[in-house]
Structure formats: C-alpha cells, structure tokens
Structure 1
C-alpha cells in the first residue's frame, strides 16, 4: 500500500514533470551527449517492481521509465534500466502464471501500445541512441577509461599511508580536475584500501543475503526479485557514475534497499 501511494504522489509526478520539461524545452532536438538531469528520475525505477497488486499501473510505469531512460541518451542509464528489468523478471517469473496472464485484457491492450510507442520512440531518437553506443569503443565511455587509468596510476605511486587511508574527500578533483565517474575507484582513491574494503563489505552483506534467502524466495517472490534487481541496478549505475557524492541520487535507492533488507532479515525468515 505504501508503494502504491508513493507511486501516485511522488513517482508519477516526477515522470510527468520530466516529460513536461522535455516538451516545453524541446530537449530531444538539442541534446546529443546525454541529459544528466534524468538521473534524478530514473533512481525511482526499482520502486515500481513492488507494485505487484497493481499490475497495470506497474506495466505503465515500467514503460514510462524505459522511455525516460532512452530519452536520457545516457548509456549507463539505458544499460542499468534494461539489466535491472531483465533480472527482476528472471527472479519473479512463474511460468505457468505468466502463460495464463498473457490472455488478460490489459495485456492484449498493453502489447500493441508498447509496440507502437517503441517504434515511434526509435524513429524519434533511435539514431542518436545507437550512435552513442557505437562510439563507446572510440571515446572510452566519454573519456572514462583514461580517467580510470590516470587515477589508478596515481594511486599505485602513492605512499603507504595514502594507499591505506586515501587522499581525502573528493581528492580526484585536486589531481585530475574531475570525479572518477566510478564509485569504487572514487572511494579507493579518496579513502584508500580501508574505505574501499568497507564499501565492498557493504555490498557483500547484501549479496550474501541474496544467496541465504534464495531457497525460500517463493514465499516472497516479488520482494526478493526487487531486492536482487535493486542491487544489480545500483552496482551497474555506480560503475560509470559517482553516486557516492550525490545524496539525492543515492538516497531513494538506499531507502528502498533498507526497507527490503529489513523485511528479508526480520520478517520473511
């Protein structure tokens, strides 16, 4: 019930504002390298998976988030959203139930609408999105490969204390002028092996929980699938972006992660 009202009063208005902004500012015809503003919208995507009792609303919101991801022109957003969606459906799937669900009225309406919107969207922005992925091998992820290489070289040449405790908060800006565009490299450089290890332990605890709860996932299939998908979404996003220093981007995902972690540990035993 909480997720339902959360969707109505926060997620849907955020998406509506996104489309309104694109329409009124003619963003599609002007943007070429990606719109970072849409990170603020896409971080709410994993919440949608919990709308199991409102399947039509969930399907509509998933479609809208997919459109938003492609409108962003950001490769990391598109990849993270698609992988999270695939992972969710892999873990939530009930083959017999899905076959029966294929013949429900809203599915018969939703599929043609999805095909039409997908075709229209590809005609509108498909060429730019495809070209962004084609340039990946040429631009090294907008220079990310060069950034990673320079930071790792500097780190390996640092003294023992700097390697152990790092170079300080946002120190990559002092050395190369920008953030690392990768949370793991950013934390390793800023807080050294100690901080990096703590961050790894943070994710390791969640990954361990995934394996521990795997055999009993059928009792809370939707929540378990959402938890796994959220971990994958967060890890994929942080591979090519610096979320660790963006509280507004990180907070919604950690909020949902905390809720699901608590329920998996204390409620669904």
Structure 2
C-alpha cells in the first residue's frame, strides 16, 4: 500500500485546526481537557504548513495564483506593520496573522489533493465538529449554567461551520445541521449571528438556482423552505424563552435602547478618535489591539473600523482588496456555473455581516473555519472541477 503523503498532510492540517479550536473552546468553558501545550503544538504545525507552502510556491515552483498572492500580500503587510509599529509581542503578532496563516496553509495542502478524495472527509469531519460544539455549548449553558461574554460568543464556531453544512448533498443531514446552528443562535440571543445566518441562507437560496445545472430548488420550493424555516424558528424561540427571561426578537426590539449592546456609542467614539488623529496615525495606524484604550476597554466590533484604526489607510485598503477579490471570484463562479457558487456566495455574506457587526479577523479562532472553506472551494475551482457532478 502506497502512502499518499498529500492526503496525510490534509488530515494533519484538518485535525490540527479542529483540535486547536476545540481546545480553545474548552479553555473558555473551563473544561478539564483544555490543554495549552497541545494547542501550542497545533499552532506550530499550522504555521509550518503555511511557511513551507510559501517557500515552495515562491522559491521552488515559482507559481503564485492570484488569490494566494492576495493573502500572502496581506500576511506580509500585517507582519511588517506590526514590526514597524513596534509590536513585537508574539501573542499579538500571531493573533493578527492567524487569518492569513490558516488560508495559506490550507490552500497549499488542498492544491495537492484531488477534490474528489477529500470533499467527503471535509463534510463528515466538519459536521462532527458542529455536533461537538453544539453538545459542549448546550452542556455549559443548560447543565453547568455558565453564561458570560466569551461563552455566548462561542456560538460563532457553529455559525462559521455553516458553509460546510451547505456542501452536504443529503438534505436531511444538512437541515439538521442548520437547525442546530439556529437553535444555538436563538439560545445565545446573538443578534449579529442571527442576521448573518439569515442573510447567508437567503443569498444561498437566491443564487443557488443559477449556479446549479440540476436546479434543485424551484422558486416554489424556495418559498416553502423559507416559510417552514420561519415557523420552526418561531417554535424553537418559544421553547427557548422558557429557559431565558427574554428572547432574540425582544432583543431586536430593544436595539434602539441599548444601541446594539453599546456598539453605536463605541463606533461613534472610534470615528471621532480617527477624525482627530494626526496625519501619521491615519496613514500608518495606532497599532493592533489599541482601540480598547480609547473606548474604555471595548473593541470596536467592526473589522473595517478596527483595520483603519490599527493599520491606517493602507490596512483598510488591503482588507477591502480581499473583499473585492472574493466578490470577483463569486462573479466568476456564477458565470461559469461552478457547482459550489451559491455556497461560496453565502460564505462571503457571512464574512461581511459578521465583520460589520462583530469582529472576525482579530480573533484567532473561528475565522479559521472560513479560511479553510475558502481555500478548499477556490483550489477546487482552480483544479478544473467547475461543472456540476456528484461527489
């Protein structure tokens, strides 16, 4: 039996990322199996894959795809800016670089594996991970009765596994996964997560028909699907209200009173601070993780504002450039009737909504799942699997 080295690398990459993130959640939940040493080992593995991938593509093969160049450029820019701004703290450096590192490492691995060999494993493993996160979150909230900021925010691990669920062809399993995510969101009462999932699902349903030769969902089926989903959400929300003093729809009603959990006030402070900053700070930024110094200990809860504050106009530009290139790919996928076009569109909408109302790229955790998803989808398309086929 001949060992498939690339398949082994794929397994190491996927399990390293999943182990890293599960152990991070375990630490947040204060569970006994939390282990920082193992998490450090998985971090080293992920970084090694990224750096060897960069070395191979830049110096050995000397062939860089456009998307790889975009994320590599982001990596180099953020690294250089951290050094330039004198932020030599290794933890802060790795936190700000986690976003590109996961994409660069996974893309380099996926390019070497046939999609047909790994798509089934990806869907199966990530569905299992969803079950793990759902069970852990349910245990901590319902059994251990633990409820504070980081515990509530941990539902984003489930939210960012959502694109992987849409890859599943068996509708019963896919729908179970979607309902588990929605149930966790309703129980957490995270408005940004709820908006993100609803928008992503709508984008998926709207664009799915135009990107699939089989046309699985007619307009009538889409309307029925949405209606049934709304009814289920309403019923689940009533049930969850028995455990909580309020529910997510009441929180939406109170948004004018709490200003989006203080987000509007924080954003107004950040915008004022940026407007009154010196020319040098506007161009080069104030440094990563310094926004809390002017907001009374709170992050800006907006990646666009955070990038402008941390890395200046250059940082905001390169961040917007990533968006621009992802949208460019989405348009290309639609035109070429790429089989995963609608799912890719849903992932971009997730990225945008959560970046707008929360934070992703400055938190070295659940953004990893979005990077893993993008790297698979883009590498799959580049390898020529751009027509509908059963896998």
The two structures share one fold, judged by TM-score above 0.5: yes
Which residue of 2 is the match for residue 132 of structure 1?
251
After superposition, residues 77-88 of structure 1 pair within 5 angstroms as 77-88=193-204
Q: Is the 8 A contact 1:243 1:250 kept in 2?
A: yes
Q: Note if 1:4 corresponds to 2:123.
A: yes
1:72 to 188, 202, 210: 188
Distance 2:228 2:317 in 1: 48
> What do residues 133-176 of structure 1 show as CA deviations (whole Å, max 9, x unaligned)?
01112221111111111111111111111110101111212222
Q: Note closer, same or farther for the CA distance 1:241–1:8 as it changes in structure 2 (3 Å cut).
A: closer
After superposition, residues 1-269 of structure 1 pair within 5 angstroms as 1-26=120-145, 35-52=152-169, 54-93=170-209, 97-98=216-217, 118-125=234-241, 127-176=246-295, 177-217=297-337, 219-220=338-339, 223-268=340-385
Q: Is the 8 A contact 1:47 1:256 kept in 2?
A: yes
Structure 1 unaligned runs (5+)? none
Partner of 2:128, secondary structure, is helix
Distance 2:148 2:309 in 1: 32
Q: Is the 8 A contact 2:290 2:310 kept in 1?
A: yes
Q: Is the 8 A contact 2:301 2:356 kept in 1?
A: yes
Structure with greater helix percent: 1
Q: Note closer, same or farther for the CA distance 1:239–1:112 as it changes in structure 2 (3 Å cut).
A: closer
Structure 2 unaligned runs (5+)? 1-119, 387-391
Distance 2:315 2:126 in 1: 35
User: How far apart are residue 8 of structure 1 and its match?
Assistant: 4.5
Distance 2:143 2:328 in 1: 46
